[in-house]
Structure formats: structure tokens, C-alpha cells
Amino acid sequence: MSATQVARPLLLGPTLGRTSLVLVSGLGLLAAVSLAAVAFGTTGVGPGDAAAIIGHRLLGVGTVTWPASSETIVWELRLPRVAAGMIVGAGLACAGAVFQALLRNPLADPYIIGTAAGASLGAVSALLLPAILPVAVGAWLGIGLVQLLAFAGGLGAVVVVFGVARGHAGTPVIALLLAGYAVSSLLAACVALMMFLSGDRLGAVVSWLLGSLGGASWTRLALAAPLIVGSFGILLLRWRKLNALLLGEQQAAHLGVDLEREKRLLTALAALATSAGVAISGTIGFVGLVVPHLLRLAFGPDHRLLLPAAMVYGAALLVLADLGARLAGGIPVGVVTALIGAPFFLWLLRRSLVVHGR
């Protein structure tokens, strides 16, 4: 053995140093994108004013030289929107990474076991309810009936899928995938029927389904953020189990993973983060699918780096997409993420075929 081979240290996974570098770069990107998103919008409130307003609100520095409307725009409109973009983007990317590991399927995204379909059914029901019942469907606890039912629908669908997929010997991954597909299709059909019957409210329904961060407010974030961030905390600590799953279920069991418990826990946490995100912003696509893949390509499949990186870069992507969506005339952010995500996905696929031949 040559001297250089002996000297080279063994790589056991991403080092703290490398992880920090990746995350700090990501946070830098996130900060830059967020600043741009707060500094620019469809009106003339620019970076200077925005900075001054934030400085004043947070630190009490500076004298008020701007109109109240500018302060409202920056503090009540742009800032919550950016915060929502961060949290939802992080949640979707993280949940996507978890489902891709758990289900060992590269096409898995946060919605694969029914969250999107269930949340859509809940939200559309809430949107159409006023047409049927003369109920005062005003804000409930400041959240809104749509958000509440979307959240409940998302979680409910996952519970149903899990129940359907359970067998004698646990919950096979293939059963989860198939049950997820079937339940999603059924719920999507119900949503389609409701859209047909929605009449004048069709616009509101379509708007929700395409996804938007426009409805973000501090109240909604105050309720959704703890759920999403809480899920993050627990998921980050489970990196060893997720890494073990990379070797397949049998081997993961031999390495000490309690498969059934892990499936339930990981699914619950990822579904929680996803449903909370969908409740704020509707069903935004591609972030949960593409971000983990790109990061895996760039940094490897080890979850101790992949999960936090997914959070940071997912957040940055969504904030950037929302800025683009706003400046492009208020188009739904889901359209922008699809426009960014689909070509990237095609590129990933081509690259995989070319490099690996499979």
C-alpha cells in the first residue's frame, strides 16, 4: 500500500465541517432570497424603505419617514409571505426526502400517500359550504375554516391509507404506495365532482388548488409553524434510522430499526408537516419531489446532511418562486415551481440515464 493511500482518512459520512459549509451556504442563499422578497414587490416600496421599516419594528431604531401603508405592506404582507414560503418550502422538501427514504421510491413526494387529495377535499368542502349552509363561516380561532379542514383532511387521508395498507406482518411499502394511489384518486374524483358543482366558486377552488402564499398571515403562521418546526426537530434526530432504511427493510431491521414503529412515526411526522404546509398555502408541487433529488445528487444520500439541507434549500426555492410569481403578475406559485421543477427533473432523468445507464 502506498503512503498516500494510508494517509488518506476514512470517510464515514458527512463531516461536521462539510455539513456546516453546505448549511451555511444554504442559509446565505435563503437570506439573500428572503431579503429580495421583502425588498421588492408589485408596488414602489423598495429595499431602503423595507430595511428601515424592519429596523424600526424590530429594534426601534430610526424615525418614521414612511407612510403607514408602506409599513403594512412590508410587515403584514411581504414578511408573513416570506416566512410562510420558508416554512412551507422547508416542510415540503423535508417531507419529500423522508417519504423517498421510507418508501424507497424516487417518485415519492410529500403528497404520495394522500395528503394533497385529503387536504384538497377538506379545503374545497370549506369553500363550498357557505353556498349550502347559511352558516357564518368566519374565522375559527383566527385560522379560517378552509385551513382547518385542509389540515384535518390531509391527516385523515394518511390515517385511512395506513389503515388500508396494514396487513398481518406489518405495513408493506408496496401496499402503502398502492393504497396511497387509490385513496388519492378517489378523493381527487370527489374534488373534481365538487368543482363541477361549484358554479360561481370555481375560481376560488382552482386558486386554492394551484397553491399560493398570498393568504399568509402571522396568525396562521403562529399555528402552523410550531407543528412544522416540531416535526423537523424530531425528524433530524432520526437520521440513523433513515440511513439504515437505505439498505432495505430487512437489513435495516438487522441494524436494529423497529420497522413498524419507524414507518408510523416517520409517516406521522412527515404528514403533519405536509398537512400544516398545505393548510397555509394550498397544494404546491415539485418542491417536495425535486429538492431532495437535487441535494442527493450534489451532496449524497446521507440523511444527516440531506434532511437539514432539504429544509434550507427547500425554503430558499419556495421564497424565490413566490417572488417570481408575484413579479410575474400574481400567477400562482405552484405554476412557478412547476416551471422550475419540471425541467430540472427532466435534466436529472437525462443525467441519470447518461451517467449510469439506468
Q: Is 12 in the site for another protein (CB under 8 A)?
A: yes
| One of 42, 46, 260, 346 touching another protein (CB under 8 A) | 42
What 3-state class would DSSP assign to 108?
coil
Q: Is 3 in the site for another protein (CB under 8 A)?
A: no
CB of 347 to another protein, least distance (A): 17
CA distances from 71 to 67, 138, 169, 184, 217 (A): 7, 26, 58, 42, 15
Q: Which is nearer to another protein, 161 or 296 (CB)?
A: 296
Q: Which is nearer to another protein, 60 or 168 (CB)?
A: 168
Q: Is 207 in the site for another protein (CB under 8 A)?
A: yes
Q: Is 146 in the site for another protein (CB under 8 A)?
A: yes
Helix axes 79-102, 287-299, angle to 10 degrees: 70
Q: Which is nearer to another protein, 139 or 189 (CB)?
A: 139
CB of 335 to another protein, least distance (A): 12
Supply the DSSP symbol for 198.
Answer: -
Q: Which is nearer to another protein, 60 or 199 (CB)?
A: 199
- Binding to another protein, residues 111-140 (CB under 8 A): 130, 138-139
Q: Which is nearer to another protein, 59 or 356 (CB)?
A: 356
Give the burial class of 164: count Cβ atoms within 10 A of its Cβ; 0-12 exposed, 13-18 middle, 19 or more buried.
Answer: middle
| One of 76, 163, 185, 189 touching another protein (CB under 8 A) | 76
Binding mask 46-75 for another protein (x = CB under 8 A): ---------------------xxxx-xx--
| One of 11, 61, 132, 133 touching another protein (CB under 8 A) | 11
**CA-closest candidate to residue 221, choices 144, 158, 283:** 144
Binding mask 225-244 for another protein (x = CB under 8 A): ------------x--x--xx
Query: What is the CB neighbour count within 10 angstroms for residue 6?
Result: 7
CB of 159 to another protein, least distance (A): 25
Binding residues for another protein, total number by CB under 8 A = 65
Q: List phi, psi (to 5°) of 106.
A: -70, -15
- The residues, any chain, with a CB within 8 Å of residue 111's CB and separated by 6 or more, are 117, 184, 274, 283, 285, 288
Which stretches within the chain are classed as H helix?
3-7, 16-39, 47-59, 68-72, 79-102, 115-132, 145-165, 173-196, 202-210, 218-237, 239-245, 249-254, 259-281, 287-299, 303-327, 333-356
Q: Is 105 in the site for another protein (CB under 8 A)?
A: no
Q: Tell me the β-bridge partners of 274.
A: none
| One of 62, 172, 215, 230 touching another protein (CB under 8 A) | 215
Query: What is the CB neighbour count within 10 angstroms for residue 170?
Result: 14
Read off the C-alpha cell for 137.
363561516
Q: Which is nearer to another protein, 114 or 308 (CB)?
A: 308
Give the burial class of 233: count Cβ atoms within 10 A of its Cβ; 0-12 exposed, 13-18 middle, 19 or more buried.
Answer: exposed
Cβ atoms of 145 and 176 within 8 Å: the answer is no
Summarize as ranges the residues that interact with another protein (CB under 8 A): 1, 5, 8, 10-13, 15-16, 19, 41-45, 67-70, 72-73, 76-78, 130, 138-139, 144, 146, 168-169, 199-201, 203-204, 207, 214-215, 217, 237, 240, 243-244, 246-248, 250-251, 253-258, 296-297, 300-302, 304, 326, 329-330, 356
